[in-house]
Amino acid sequence: MRFVKFEPEHLLALRPQEAQRPHLEWMTPEIAELASEHFSFTGYGHNGEMIGCAGLAPVEDGSLVAWAVFGAALLKYRLSVTRAVKAGLDTHAGHRIIAHIHTDHANAARFAEALHFKLIETRSDLHPSGALMHVYVREGA
Supply the pLDDT for residue 114.
Answer: 94
Q: How are strands ordered across the β-sheet holding 64-70?
A: 2-5, 40-44, 50-58, 64-70, 97-102, 133-138, 118-123
Model confidence over 34-61: pLDDT tens digits? 888 889 999 999 999 999 999 999 988 8
Whole-structure pTM over 0.85, yes or no?
A: yes
Supply the pLDDT for residue 82.
Answer: 93
Q: Please tell me the least confidently modeled range out of 50-59, 70-79, 105-114, 125-134.
A: 125-134
pLDDT(64) > 60: yes
pLDDT(81) > 60: yes
Supply the pLDDT for residue 49.
Answer: 93
